[in-house]
Structure formats: C-alpha cells, structure tokens
Amino acid sequence: MRALRFLAAIFVLLQATPSFAVQPDEILPDATLEQRARNLSRELRCMVCQNQSIDDSDAPLARDLRLLVRERLKAGDSDKQVLDFLTARYGDFVLLNPPLNRRTALLWGLPTALLVFGGFILLMAVRRRPAPSSMTDSLAQAAPLTPEEEARIADLLEKDPRTKI
C-alpha cells in the first residue's frame, strides 16, 4: 500500500509541468522571434514580484513588459538593443542579473563583505576562547581538598535526596 502511494505521488509529480505566464495572444507567429522573446523575458525582473522573471509573472506590468519586448523584436531590434531600451527606461533593477558598475558595486560587493566580516568575527571569537587543555591544566593545578572540605561535601551529599540510589 505504501509503495502504491509512493508510485502515485511520483506519477503526479512527473505530470506537473512548469506554468509560464505568457498568454496565447502574446506569442509571436515567428518561432525564432518568440524564442528570442522568451530568452529575454527570462533575463528581465518583474517590477511587481521582484523575485520572478517577467516570463514567470502573472502581474499586469510583467505582461506589458513582455508585449514591449515582442514589439521591439518585431521592429528589428537586437537582443542588446531591447535590453538597453528597458534598462534606460527602468534602470538596472529591471535586469535579474545586473551588470557590475559604479551604481551596482554595493549590490555585488555587500554579500562578500558580509561573509568576510562574519569570518573575521568567528576567527576572533575562536581565538579569544581558552583552549580546552589550558582549562584541564588549571584544574589539575588546584590545591587538594582539606579534610574539613571533604567532610562538608560528604555531609551535603547525604542530605540531598537526589543522590540516594
């Protein structure tokens, strides 16, 4: 029974296909232009969703951008010209993979800087922590208990109910 459920789950997962937001009325009749449009759409960020490409987004603005890409391609623009047009209009933020330049240096450098800073803090914390052998050495160097201290410990252990077996 368990194996049957597993096989059914695998079958359902294999039947699932990725859904794209591109509507049938947006698709270009020329297959080459449509493929270029889809490739460009995967490189452009949905300004509403921000973590999806316009190819995956159902937002109205993403639809408008998909149509704009297709218009520019039909007008004869190259892929670079389409990307340059959209970047000039919306800024580097419209690109899912923005280029490294003066304005985006912080975007590209901040994760690395945070990683280096975190590693430095971790290194300092490890260096400040005493080594385990030095703790053992300091315990070994402690003075032995006096007979009064040993009697006091034995008395406390006899009175504590948790130490009874």
The structural domains of the chain, with segments of one domain joined by +, span: 17-94, 100-126
Residue of 26, 96, 21 lying closest to 55 (CA atoms): 21
Using alpha carbons, list the distances in angstroms from residue 71 to 26, 34, 60, 63, 104: 10, 11, 17, 12, 29
* pLDDT at position 33 over 80: yes
Give residue 101's pLDDT: 82
Q: What pLDDT shows up at residue 52? A: 86
Both structure tokens of 8: 């059914």
Residue type for position 42: R
64-103 pLDDT tens trace: 888 899 999 889 889 999 999 999 998 888 888 888 888 7
Confidence tier at 131 by pLDDT (50, 70, 90):
low
Residue 141: pLDDT over 80? no
Band (pLDDT 50/70/90 cuts) for residue 119 is: very high
Residue pair 42/53 in contact (Cβ under 8 Å)? The answer is yes
Per-residue pLDDT at 115: 95
Token output for 152: 């006091």
Q: Provide the pLDDT confidence category of residue 21 given band limits of 50, 70 and 90.
A: low
As a whole number, mean pLDDT of residues 22-46 equals 81
Query: What's the CATH number for 17-94?
Result: 1.10.8.640
